[in-house]
Structure 1
Amino acid sequence: MTSVDLTAATALAREALETFGFDPDTPLTLLKNRENFVFSLTDTRGEDNASTRYVLRVHRQGYHSDAELACELDFVRALHGEGVAVPSFLHSPDGRGFCTVGHNHPAGAHQVDMQLLLENHGNFGDERTGVDGSASIDPADFAALGRLAAEVHNATERSGYTMAVPRDDWDLDGLVGTEPAWGDPLRIAELVGEDRAAVEAAILRIREQLTAYGTPKNRFGPIHSDLTPENVLRTGAGLVLIDFDDFAAGWHLFDLATAIHFYTPHPRYAEYRDALFAGYESGRPLDPADHAAFPAMLLARALTYLGWAADRRGEDTPEWLVARVLPNTVRLAREFIAD
């Protein structure tokens, strides 16, 4: 896997523009660079010179195979067909939802997709303001997010969508196995002594509870998996869910845990959590076993972020996760094993 810089990513993006039939010299604006480089662009082709705005993603090399990425885009199309508010992807010349470029570039082959840009009319929130408690979000927004999550899970069942190829599932081993999908949180050097012992004990209890919870289809199936605030846009038509990069099979509760995780230190956490669940249950029922399993799922989700950080030390976000999220995760672990 090769790490590329902005210059290389821009060159790859311009090659993809040509493949999709756009002018390769179209101005590009960098929107985001974490796992992928994400650019925006405006196209003014056509007789009336009407402007259409797009988002172009240069995927991190080797993160998903072509078959895995095709599976992801098929999932988005299945949700779109069921009326869920998700992005609209362009088809490449070969009919896929992405192209592969860079075969003659020093950075090597990279997958690139394009989608219509969704106008974001305000921030739903972000991870850091959730953790530091400064986020000011109406509980009604979490209720709307819960309804959207329920729509995704209901639409998945209605569509009959099944995973065409395996991905890194958010199952028991993917979350708290010996080789978790996002890395081992116990590899964080700062996690020592009684804090480490609490997390280790919590992992054992998570495994026990989620094993007992089971994986029937009303609890487990294809999910978004990264339902964080930055992946929810406010649009004129309501909330829209973007970035299905980590989509895989997992527990439905995992989406709810992801939506609320970064607000667990927030002074209004209980209010936000209750609104999220109320919104979800307005569209999809939960039973007492779901509510009982949620603390285990929430802590399992917290541990995935630390596992991700453990393999990326020195970068800004991983260091923030260790400094600010690790202490909160230890608190959650202590509360979990004491309950």
Structure 2
Amino acid sequence: MSDLIARALPVYGLAEDTPLTLLNRSENETWRAGPLILRLHRQGYHAKSEIASELAWLTALQDLPGLNAVKPVAGAQGLVTEVDGRFLVAFAPIGGQELQPGDDLARWFAPLGEITARLHLHARQWTPPPGFTRKRWDVETILGPNPHWGHWRQAQGLDPQGEALLARATDRLAATLNAYGTGPETFGLIHADLRLANLMVDGDRLTAIDFDDCGFGWWAYDLAAALSFYETDPRLPDLIARWVEGYTRIAPLRPGDRAMIPSLIFLRRVLLTAWLSTRADSDTAQGFGGPAYTQGTLVLADRYLTDGLSAFLP
């Protein structure tokens, strides 16, 4: 892939021999190229129109008071570059480092709640450009027969007993989410992947990056995504409370939305359980995947059936 990246560099005014560093291989590949960060999109996932739509929202978010978001950089072909049938996009680099599970997360979850609320307020009033298209994250596309990120039945280490347990739990989850609905008061344009790896910390500054999975989902799902990969961590109730505290300083959060937080956390966990199996070659799967993560999902499934994960309620 480095050869393909090198051929794209002149599009951004860079020499083909500009040093390249692979930063991450997850859903896509992220490269450092001189003064830019380049994202090489995985084939067959997003259409060019979807990528352009992501960058249209990101462009609209620039300089929004109280919100720091990664800045897209245009090349000679515009914001989306195509080389040999592959799509690339460029961003200005962000100072600092990614949040890590071992960091003092309690310090950052109220600011993250504020950032999330500002994103949602913007999305509620923004008029997207013609042709704007992004994926939906709903019951059908996460739990249905042909989900975006694969089916949870493919999870590593899932035995028949575990499959039966997860089937019961996801049936209840689907019924709960369908009753919650997808009206504009509960559902809209969200980041959908505000996990720690997509949050950069530089001093007191928190910046949201990687809007690659932004789309239409439940507003409170952005909190669930922020808890990705450590949903069984004992810090969760405190982190959820701090996120809600920050969010409600900027925008209201209805009692019904708060009540759905445990279900959305479980939904995200099921989604990631599937994703880790279908993207087993990614750096993320190497770090978090395997049968142990599936077993953690089954623990949450049992708790969800027992008490609805009531301990997570803010």
Q: Structure 1-normalised TM-score? A: 0.84
Matched ranges for 1:247-326 at <5 A: 247-313=214-280, 317-318=284-285, 320-326=288-294
Three-state SS of the structure 1 residue aligned to 2:290 is helix
- Equivalent residue number for residue 196 of structure 2: 229
Question: 2:150, 2:274 within 8 Å by CA — same for their partners in 1?
Answer: yes
1:113 matches 2:113: no
Alpha-carbon deviation of 1:236? 5.0
For residue 20 of structure 2, the aligned residue among 12, 28, 32 is 28
In 2, Cα distance between equivalents of 1:100 and 1:189: 35
| Corresponding residue SS for 2:89 | strand
- 5 Å-filtered alignment, 1:137-176, equals 137-161=104-128, 164-176=131-143
Residues 1:336 and 2:310 are matched in the alignment: no
In the alignment, which residue of structure 1 is the partner of 2:312? Answer: none
Partner of 2:74: 91
CA distance in 1, matches of 2:9, 2:223: 36
Name the larger-Rg structure. Answer: 1
Contact 2:71 2:91 in 1 (8 A): yes
**Structure 1: distance between partners of 2:115 and 2:166:** 32
Deviations 1:208-247 (A, max 9, x none): 1111111121321111111110100013571111111111
Q: Secondary structure at the match of 2:88?
A: strand
SS in structure 2 opposite 1:282? helix
Query: C-alpha separation between the residues in 2 aligned to 1:338 and 1:123?
Result: 35
* Residues 125-170 of structure 1: per-residue CA shift (max 9 Å, x gap): 1xxxx4xxxx241412111111111111111123233783444310
Q: CA, structure 1 residues 139+314, in 2 after alignment: closer, same or farther (shift >3 Å)?
A: closer
1:3-152 equivalences under 5 Å are 9-42=1-34, 53-80=35-62, 82-83=64-65, 84-94=67-77, 96-102=78-84, 109-120=85-96, 122-125=97-100, 130=101, 135-152=102-119
| Distance (Å, rounded) in 2 between the aligned partners of 1:72 and 1:322 | 31
1:139·1:272 contact (CA, 8 Å) conserved in 2? yes
- 5+ unaligned residues in a row in structure 2: which ranges? 308-314
Runs of 4 or more consecutive aligned structure 1 residues displaced over 4 Å after TM superposition:
313-317
Per-residue deviation, residues 282-321 of structure 1 (Å, max 9, x unmatched): 2121112112211111111111111112324466644642
Q: Quote the Cα distance in structure 2 between the aligned partners of 1:141 and 1:257.
A: 15
SS at match of 1:118: coil
* Aligned match of 2:146: 179
State, as a whole percentage, how many aligned pairs show the same letter: 30
Measure, in 1, the Cα distance between the counterparts of 2:282 and 2:206: 31
